């Protein structure tokens, strides 16, 4: 009997020792695999914040650019509106001047004797008053004409500035619209996080105790925070950049038309044409210029709004990326 018991001990003890060694070897292999998977997370998820920060910087610059353009377009529109009011006042002054004979310097020479005597017979004081009123009206008209000319120049200059900012905004948005590299990196980061999550679950299911191996719990934070990075957010960035580029291109085209029309409307040739056809042409050109400035202001406001939404979106992504990298 003692012989069988001794033989049994000789068989069981080596097997138990072998099982313990085998478990330790298996545990070591599982933990090694976990560390390797964790390193892949560090590799693919690290550095995302720098790239998102660059996009955020671009969005801020583009917001400033489109905002300046929108303000410039708004200023041009305001100048155009005041100019239209000024031109209307000039027309009224011109009408009053003509009523007092100021439009025809040869009127006296064309008078009949009776008309001439009637004019000479008028009271001297009354004639002086009429002359003074005519001079006052002419001086007021000259001042309003100079004001209108200046407003036209302001409108043209502001429209040209707004057009330039729209061109710049379209270029910036176009260069930064494609974020395929960042999408690929975040996709790789998500895949690495999924592998780490699966490896951690497999380790626990395989009998590794998280209490005895606290590193398993440390992986939880990395899995949670790095897993929050979402490719869909980068897709939103691309779409909003596309909208900004489109509105900026549209604003640039409208601005170019408005600038050219404003220049044409403010030339001396157009302004000094006092025929009915000439006056109507000037009105039409000013109307087109003002409509263009209004449309340019609207497109600039849309572009600025989308740039602001880009800043908010990139801020959210940047925060997630920084929190992820803090755990790596």
Q: Enumerate the domain spans of the chain.
A: 2-327
Cα distance between residue 85 and residue 143, in whole Å: 14
Q: What is the mean pLDDT of the chain?
A: 78
Cα distance between residue 28 and residue 23, in whole Å: 8
Q: Residue 52's closest CA among 311, 308, 232? A: 311
pLDDT at 156 (0 to 100): 86
Cα distance between residue 262 and residue 264, in whole Å: 5
Q: Mean pLDDT, to the nearest integer, of 254-261?
A: 87
How many Cβ atoms are within 10 Å of 61's Cβ, its own excluded? 15
User: Could you read off the pLDDT of 301-314 as tens digits, one per residue?
Assistant: 888 888 888 888 88
Which of 10-24, 66-80, 151-165, 170-184 bottoms out in mean pLDDT, i.e. has the lowest? 10-24
* pLDDT at 119 exceeding the cut of 60: no
Output the CA–CA distances (angstroms, integers) from residue 54 to 59, 188, 228, 243, 319, in the order listed. 9, 20, 20, 19, 13
pLDDT at 115 (0 to 100): 62
User: Quick one: what percent of the chain has pLDDT higher than 90?
Assistant: 4
Q: Which residue has the higher pLDDT, 87 or 107?
A: 87
pLDDT at 101 (0 to 100): 64
> What six digits make up the tokens of 22?
């085998």
Give the confidence band of 193 by pLDDT, cuts at 50, 70, 90: very high
* pLDDT at 86 exceeding the cut of 50: yes
pLDDT at 1 (0 to 100): 46
Give the confidence band of 55 by pLDDT, cuts at 50, 70, 90: confident
pLDDT at 110 (0 to 100): 60
As to burial, measured by CB atoms within 10 angstroms (0-12 exposed, 13-18 middle, 19+ buried), residue 294 is middle
pLDDT at 133 (0 to 100): 72
Q: Residue 75's closest CA among 160, 155, 156, 166? A: 155
Give the confidence band of 206 by pLDDT, cuts at 50, 70, 90: confident
Cα distance between residue 125 and residue 120, in whole Å: 12
Cα distance between residue 232 and residue 138, in whole Å: 67
pLDDT at 175 (0 to 100): 79
Q: Mean pLDDT, to the nearest integer, of 206-217?
A: 75
pLDDT at 190 (0 to 100): 92
């Amino acid at each position: 009997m003692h012989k069988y018991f001794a033989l049994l001990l000789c068989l069981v003890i080596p097997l138990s020792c072998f099982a313990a060694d085998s478990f330790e070897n298996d545990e070591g292999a599982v933990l090694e695999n976990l560390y390797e998977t964790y390193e892949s997370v560090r590799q693919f998820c690290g550095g995302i914040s720098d790239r998102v920060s660059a996009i955020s910087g671009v969005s801020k610059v583009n917001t400033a650019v489109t905002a300046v353009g929108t303000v410039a377009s708004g200023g041009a529109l305001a100048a155009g509106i005041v100019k239209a009011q000024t031109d209307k006042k000039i027309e009224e002054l011109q009408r009053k001047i003509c009523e007092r004979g100021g439009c025809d310097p040869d009127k006296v020479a064309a008078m009949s004797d009776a008309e001439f005597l009637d004019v000479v017979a008028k009271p001297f004081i009354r004639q002086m008053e009429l002359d003074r009123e005519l001079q006052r009206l002419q001086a007021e008209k000259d001042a309003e004409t100079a004001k209108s000319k200046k407003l036209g120049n302001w409108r043209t200059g502001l429209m040209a500035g707004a057009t330039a900012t729209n061109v710049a905004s379209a270029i910036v948005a176009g260069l930064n619209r494609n974020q395929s590299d960042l999408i690929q990196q975040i996709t790789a980061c998500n895949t690495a996080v999924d592998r780490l999550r699966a490896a951690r679950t497999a380790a626990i299911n395989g009998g590794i105790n998280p209490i005895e191996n606290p590193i398993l719990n440390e992986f939880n934070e990395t899995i949670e925070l790095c897993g929050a990075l979402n490719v869909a957010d980068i897709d939103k960035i691309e779409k909003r950049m596309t909208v900004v580029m489109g509105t900026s291109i549209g604003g640039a085209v409208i601005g170019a038309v408005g600038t050219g029309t404003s220049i044409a409307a403010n030339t001396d040739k157009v302004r000094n044409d006092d025929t009915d056809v000439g006056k109507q042409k000037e009105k039409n050109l000013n109307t087109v210029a003002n409509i263009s400035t209004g449309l340019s202001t609207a497109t600039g406001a849309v572009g600025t709004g989308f740039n602001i939404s880009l800043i908010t979106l990139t801020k959210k992504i940047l925060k997630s990326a920084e929190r992820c990298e803090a755990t790596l």
